[in-house]
Amino acid sequence: MIAERYAQVNEQIRRAAQAAGRDPAGIRLVVVTKGHPLEDIQQVVEAGACLLGESYVEEALEKIQAGGLPGGVEWHMIGHVQSRKSKAVAAHFDWLHSLDREKLALRLERDAAAAGRTLPVLLECNVSGEQSKFGWPAWQEERWDGLLEPLERVLALPHLQVRGLMTMAPFFSDPQQARPYFNRLRRLRDFLAAHFPQADWSELSMGMSGDFEAAVQEGATIVRIGTAIMGPRPDLKD
Ligand SMILES: *Cc1c(COP(=O)(O)O)cnc(C)c1O
């Protein structure tokens, strides 16, 4: 079942890319495995997945430290990180999608330096203004200028390697309604790239089970998909 759904989602990504005139190779799939046991993760990795997304530091650490998955599998932290968990993230994850504030950036810089690592990060942006969402405040385009100063400081941190932006769109039953939010993230990326051309803005992590095709239409380079591949989450509420 997991292998079939994994193949099916890959096919849907490929078709969405082609329909948008994009090269499917420009879109990477992070399989979101939060709430799912290692046996299920093993199955999706055997089916070909090599990027795994987790939202909770402790749950993820148990899985990472259990071993048993082939080397080369990358662990992507996609959920909100409390500052006190920065050390674990800096030491054990391959990517962080949810760098949402300067304080966390400063802690991660210190902890990544101590661990002798450089961590690829994405800046999580709140493009909808929903209070339930984390992220750099970016829903009012006329205020994007206000992001430049703090982001300039984040970009200067030597052990964090900014690679682009991440967002979650609001939930809609019609995923096409999410497109303006994905489009806003892309335009924010263009705005930041114009101001900081020396930095790498190549990645747009956007799109989940319910809306990834709309995200691909708007330029996603990374989609984060859980339920559509792994099935419903057994022991998590979100
Ligand atoms: C859980 C989660 C996902 C995956 O959600 P699905 O709807 O199960 O595909 C993607 N991104 C983030 C940040 C998440 O927390």
Q: Domain locations in the chain? A: 2-231
Q: Whose CA is nearest to atom 12 of ligand 1?
A: 78
pLDDT at 141: 97
DSSP string, 38-79: HHHHHHHHHTT--EEEES-HHHHHHHHHH--SPTTPEEEE-S
Q: Where are the beta strands (DSSP E) in 92-210?
A: 95-99, 119-126, 136-137, 160-166, 203-205
What is d(CA 149, CA 158) in angstroms, rounded to the nearest whole number? 17
pLDDT by 10s per residue, the chain, length 238: 999 999 999 999 999 999 999 999 999 999 999 999 999 999 999 999 999 999 999 999 999 999 889 888 999 999 999 999 999 999 999 999 999 999 999 999 999 999 999 999 999 999 999 999 999 999 999 999 999 999 999 999 999 999 999 999 999 999 999 999 999 999 999 999 999 999 999 999 999 999 999 999 999 999 999 999 999 997 654 4
What is d(CA 71, CA 121) in angstroms, rounded to the nearest whole number? 21
Cβ–Cβ < 8 Å for 91, 109: no
Confirm or reject: Cβ of 78 under 6 Å from ligand 1. yes
Q: What are the backbone dihedrals phi and psi of residue 52, each rounded to the nearest 5 degrees, phi first?
A: -115, 135
Amino acid symbol at 147 = L
Confirm or reject: Cβ of 209 under 6 Å from ligand 1. yes
Residue 226 CA, ligand 1 centroid: distance in Å: 6
Question: 173 exposed, middle or buried (CB, 10 Å; 0-12, 13-18, 19+)?
Answer: exposed
Which of 34, 55, 122, when mutated, tests ligand 1's pocket best, judged by the most ligand atoms within 8 Å of its CB? 55
pLDDT at 234: 79
Beta-carbon count within 10 A of 21 CB: 7
pLDDT at 236: 53
Q: Give pTM, 2 decimals.
A: 0.97
* Nearest-atom index, ligand 1, CA of 166: 13
Question: Is 2-231 a CATH 3.40.50.1360 domain?
Answer: no
Q: How many helices (H) and strands (E) does the chain have?
A: 9, 9
Which of 28, 78, 81, when mutated, tests ligand 1's pocket best, judged by the most ligand atoms within 8 Å of its CB? 78
Residue 208 CA, ligand 1 centroid: distance in Å: 6
What is d(CA 126, CA 181) in angstroms, rounded to the nearest whole number? 9
What is d(CA 8, CA 44) in angstroms, rounded to the nearest whole number? 12
Torsion, Cα of 104, 124, 91, 152 (10° steps): -60
Cβ–Cβ < 8 Å for 23, 219: no
